[in-house]
Amino acid sequence: MRKLALSDEILLNIEKPARYLGNEVNAVVKDPAKVDIRFAMCFPDVYEIGMSYLGIQIIYDMLNQREDTWCERLYSPWTDLDAQMREKDIPLFALESQDPVKDFDFLAITIQYEMCYTNILQVIDLSKIPMMAAERTWEDPIVIGGGPCTYNPEPLADFFDIFYIGEGETVYNELMDIYKDSRSRGLSRKEFLERAADIPGLYVPAFYDVDYHEDGTIRAFTPNNPHAKEKIKKQVVTDLSHTYYPEKPVVPFIKVTQDRVVLEIQRGCIRGCRFCQAGMVYRPNRERSLEFLKTAAVKMLNATGHEEISLSSLSSSDYSELEALVSFLLEECSKKKINISLPSLRIDAFSLDVMSKVQDVKKSSLTFAPEAGTQRMRNVINKGLTEEDIFGGAMDAFRGGWNRVKLYFMLGLPGETDDDIEGIARLSNDIAALYYTLPKSERPGGGRVDVVTSTSFFVPKPFTPFQWVAQNTNEQFLSKQRLLNGKIRDQLNHKSIKYNWHDVELTQLEGILARGDRRLCRVLLDAYRSGCLYDSWSESFRYELWMAAFEKNGVDPDFYNLRERSTDEILPWDFIDAGVSKSFLIREWERSKQALVTPNCRQGCSGCGSRIYGGGVCYENQA
C-alpha cells in the first residue's frame, strides 16, 4: 500500500491537504521496479493553477505511454507546507508515488511566466537537489526547463541542466532513449549532456560562455563545447491531428482554476499583434482537424465527468471549423447538461450568435480586448481591430441580451500619447452610451450597463517587434494610471464604468526578468534566500527584497528596462531560432513607428520566416 509522504499531523494543520495526496481520477500509477526512467513533471505554482495547465497533461500522457518510463507530477508547496517541510526536513515528493524527487532521473519544470522564478528555486531547494547545475552529479536528477519563458532562459541559466525550446511532443522520446542508453553504457553526466545537446531544440547552458562590454551589453555568446550548436532551433509539431493528446486527463479532487475539459483547437495565431510574444513564437498557426477534436472531446468528457468543456486557442474565432465544432458540441453536451466555454473569441455577429447558443440560460459578461484607446495606437500595435468593429460588436451584444462588458487595455505602449490614454476613457464611455441608445424596453439587465475597464502595463518581450524598446518607469506608469482614472471620472457615463489597474512594481520586475541575462541568476538566488516566493501573488510579493538583491550584487535593474536597444546589439536570446526572423521583427518595429498595419496571415504572407516548418497556415490552400 502506498505510504503518504506527509503525516496525518501535518495534513490536518495545512490548507487544502488534497493538494499533496495524489491518487486522483486518471492518475497513472506504475511499479517503480518495472520502469527504467523516473520523470517528475513540475508546475512551479500552487496545485490549483498547475492542474489547470494542458501542457503538463499532454507530456504526462505521452511519457506514460512508454513502458520504461513513469511520469509523475508535483507542484509548489503553499507557504504553510513549505515551512513544515523545512522545519521537519521533509524532501519534496511526487504526487503519484509520494517518493522524493531527488531520487528521480529527471525533474522537468514548465516555465510559464517570469514571476514564478523564485518558486522554481523553491522546488529545487526543497527537493534537496544542488541549486547550481554545475554542482550536480549522477546522484541528482537532470533538471530540464520548458515553456514560453525558455525563449529567454538566461536569467535561469545557472539552475538548469537543459532547456527544451519548443513544443514538448517533438524530442522528449529521443531524449529518454539517449538517457537510458547513456546510463546503461556507464557514460558520465557530461557525456549524456553532450548527447542531449546534439538533439534539435535542446540547449545546455553550461556549454556556452558569455562575454560583456564595459557598458554591460553582450560582446559575445560562444559555445565552449563541440556539441553545442550556434543556434538552437525551436521544435514544432506540424501535424496537430496526428500527435499526442490526453484521452484521460487527471481529474483533481478539489476545485482548480480551470475545472473543465480543455480542448486545444489550434496552435499559433494569424493576427501578428506586435506586443504579443505568444503570437510570434507559436507560429505558424496550425489547426487540429474537426474529426480529431470531436473524438477527443467525447473521450475526455466520458473519462472525466467534467461539467464544462473549454475551447483553447490564442484566437478561437480564426479556427476555420469553429461553427461545425460548436454545433457538434452543442448537440453532444446538451444531452449531458455540459457547459461550453468559448474564450478568445473576436466579438462579431457570428461569435455572439455562437455564445448565445451556449449561454442561453445566463448571459455572462463579454470580453473585448481593444488593447489601446485610439485607432492610431491600435495600428501601432497591429491589433487589427477598428472602432467600427468594437462598436458594432458591443451593440450586437447589447441587443443579444448582454449588459456587462469587460474591456482590456495596456498603458505604456511604444509611442503612446496623453490622447491615446484619454481615448481609453472615451471608448469606455462611448460603449456605455451605446447601451443607452436602446429603448428602455429592449435594454437587458434592468436598464443598466456595467463597463469594466482594466489596464495592465506594457512589458516588452523577446521575439516581438517591441523587444528593443524601453519600458516605462514606475513614475511614468503611475502618472498614466492617474491620468486615465481622472479622465474616466470626467465621462458622462462614469457611473457605469469601473476601472481596475495592475501593480506597477510587479510589472517592473517582470520586465527585468523577461529581457534579462545570466547576471540575474545571482540576484534571483539572493532574492529567494531572503524570502521571495510566490511573487505573482500580490499578498506575497516583496519588492523591497528584490531591490536589495539587485543592490547586493551590483546589478542595475534600470539597465534591463529603461533603455532602448539598438538593432545590432547582441540580445541574450539571439542564439535561439524561434522561427520568426530578426529582419521581420525589425521591419515590423519600423512599420509600428509609422502606424502601418500588417495584414494577418490569411490575408497575405508577411515573410516572418515560419514557412521553414513546412505546415500550418503558410501552406493552406496549396496542393
| Per-residue pLDDT reduced to its tens digit, 250-301 | 999 899 988 899 999 999 999 999 999 999 999 999 999 999 999 999 999 9
If one compares 336 and 274, the residue with the highest pLDDT of the two is: 274
Helix/strand/coil for 56: helix
Residue 361 has a pLDDT of: 40
Residue 622 reports pLDDT greater than 70: no
Nine-digit cell string for 88 = 521537519
Residue 623 has a pLDDT of: 46
Closest CA to 217 of 543, 525, 468: 468
Residues 98-128 have pLDDT tens digits of 999 999 999 999 999 999 999 999 999 999 9
Average pLDDT over residues 436-444: 90
Q: How far apart are the first and last CA of the chain?
A: 58
Q: What's the rounded Cα separation, in Å, for the pair 106 and 595? A: 47
- The type of residue at 459 is V
Closest CA to 234 of 344, 154, 151, 334: 151
Residues 45-86 have pLDDT tens digits of 999 999 999 999 999 999 999 999 999 999 999 999 999 999
Helix/strand/coil for 520: helix
Residues 163-202 have pLDDT tens digits of 999 999 999 999 999 999 999 999 999 999 999 999 999 9
Q: What's the rounded Cα separation, in Å, for the pair 252 and 260? A: 10
Average pLDDT over residues 391-413: 91
Whether 91 contacts 100, CB under 8 Å: yes
Q: Report helix angle 520-529 to 117-126, nearest 10.
A: 70
Residue 393 reports pLDDT greater than 70: yes
Q: What's the rounded Cα separation, in Å, for the pair 398 and 532? A: 45
Whether 186 contacts 173, CB under 8 Å: no
Q: What is the mean pLDDT of the chain?
A: 95
Rounded to two decimals, the pTM is: 0.96
Residue 374 backbone zone (phi > 0: left; psi -120 to 50: alpha; other: beta)? beta
Closest CA to 150 of 160, 142, 140, 141: 160
